[in-house]
Amino acid sequence: MLRILVFVLAAIAATGTTLSLLTSYRWYIRMWDFPRVALMVLAAIALVAAVPVLTGWVRAAVVVAMLLVIGWQGFRIYPYTPFAKTEVAKAVINRENCISAFSFNVLQTNRDYARTIQLIDREDPDIVLLLETDKLWEDALKPVIDRYPHRSSAPLDNLYGLILLSRLPVEDAEITWLIDKETPSVFATMQTKAGAQFRYIGLHPRPPQPGEDTEKRDGEIAIAARHAKETKLPVLAMGDFNDVAWSRTSQMFKRIGGYLDPRIGRGLYATFPANLPGLRWPLDHLFMSPDFTLVDMKVLENVGSDHLPVLAKVCLAPRAAKVLNDEPATPDAADHKDMREAIRDGKQAAREEGTASGGSPPPP
């Protein structure tokens, strides 16, 4: 029985790792981008158990395979550990240019509105992005919404509604459907209290799941990356990307958009699934252009959703940040090719499914 368990664990770890190496939009391949920590844990268990349970060449093969799995998964996860070098500096520079931003996928079917309201009241962020909000959520959050002078909302009952709130001055805010008419995104130009302008992007594309490959998700992420590349303003991008920070698509997004990731060198900041603390992965993101420094970033407590909320405090200080921060990675020809193909294939998939929006982001 123990031998069978070792073989099962080793097979899952090895198969998942091998599939994660493939370039494909298929959901049953892209899903293996997510559980890298879990695959590493399974490989470690299989490795430890294989030594006393198996013998001969079979034991040697399992041990070598599990060491390769642990090594590869560890390599992919390593940047998101405290052992790696940070790329965003921690610094408070001119408090009037500092911003607190909150992002939370509320889980549409979660009807415990009070806990979310209490959390927002307690943290009192300058910017609030809420995802999976339907009309019931919008109505329940009215006491919160009414406190923010700038509001954009698209309540939907398909798990892809959103609300953006800001107490900072907003010059323009537009909810747009980049590829799929069922999944909105939001773009806004805001100002700090000192009057410094920046661009805010909020995303929530669809996840890989049975019946849903990743062409449309990857296309929306690529469009947002291109938008950040083209704008002359500093950019903050937040939301539930339904993709992990270390995936090929997220890394392309980061390089094309010229972003830095404050999680690098600090931790996973894993947010999903909320009820499995040891096996979570980072689905809810904050990326920033190199014009910002970090004050603080944290994952908050579970308030009834399958995601955990993210709260970040950053300062917009372009001259100081460019000295303190690392330079963003430069995109190469492969990144540009991946971006173009992701946008093309995402739009094609939406047309074939009859969900094409014909939308685009506002001018950069």
Single-letter amino acid, residue 46: A
pLDDT of res. 1: 79
56, 80, 104 — which closes off a domain?
Answer: 80
Single-letter amino acid, residue 279: L
- The verdict on 119 and 76 lying in the same domain is no
Could you tell me which residues come within 8 angstroms of residue 114 by beta carbon, excluding any fewer than 6 positions away?
A: none
Cα separations in angstroms, 108 against 26, 132, 139, 157, 195 = 26, 5, 13, 8, 35
- Report d(CA 228, CA 364) in Å as an integer: 7
- The verdict on 187 and 335 lying in the same domain is yes
- The verdict on 149 and 200 lying in the same domain is yes
* Chain segment 254-281, per-residue pLDDT in tens: 999 999 999 999 999 999 999 988 889 9
- The verdict on 26 and 117 lying in the same domain is no
Domain count within the chain: 2
pLDDT of res. 363: 80
- Report d(CA 202, CA 186) in Å as an integer: 5
Residue 301's domain comprises 95-353
Proportion of the chain above pLDDT 90, given as a percent: 93
Give the CA count within 13 Å in the CB-facing half-sphere of 281. 21
- Report d(CA 170, CA 160) in Å as an integer: 23
- Does residue 81 contact residue 267 with C-beta atoms inside 8 Å? yes
- Does residue 244 contact residue 250 with C-beta atoms inside 8 Å? yes
* Chain segment 78-101, per-residue pLDDT in tens: 999 999 999 999 999 889 999 999
- The verdict on 138 and 226 lying in the same domain is yes
pLDDT of res. 314: 98
pLDDT of res. 307: 98
* Chain segment 314-342, per-residue pLDDT in tens: 999 999 998 999 999 999 999 999 999 99
* Chain segment 143-185, per-residue pLDDT in tens: 999 999 999 999 999 999 999 999 999 999 999 999 999 999 9
pLDDT of res. 10: 95
Averaged pLDDT of the chain? 95
- Does residue 88 contact residue 287 with C-beta atoms inside 8 Å? no
Q: Which residue is listed with tokens 């540009």? A: 336
- The verdict on 62 and 186 lying in the same domain is no
In a domain, residue 226? The reply is: yes
Asked whether the predicted pLDDT for residue 116 surpasses 80, the reply is yes
Q: What is the CATH number of the domain that holds 233?
A: 3.60.10.10
In a domain, residue 252? The reply is: yes
Single-letter amino acid, residue 268: L
Asked whether the predicted pLDDT for residue 133 surpasses 90, the reply is yes
Bridge partners (DSSP) listed for residue 188? 173, 200
- The verdict on 112 and 212 lying in the same domain is yes
pLDDT of res. 69: 97
Residue 96 is given by DSSP the state G
Helix (H, G, I), strand (E, B) or coil at 144: helix
Asked whether the predicted pLDDT for residue 359 surpasses 80, the reply is no
347: left (phi > 0), else alpha (psi -120 to 50), else beta? alpha
- Report d(CA 341, CA 221) in Å as an integer: 12
- Does residue 179 contact residue 223 with C-beta atoms inside 8 Å? yes
Cα separations in angstroms, 113 against 133, 193, 211, 217, 273 = 11, 30, 31, 28, 19
In a domain, residue 87? The reply is: no
pTM for the whole structure: 0.94
Asked whether the predicted pLDDT for residue 65 surpasses 80, the reply is yes
Radius of gyration for the alpha carbons in the chain, expressed in angstroms and rounded: 21
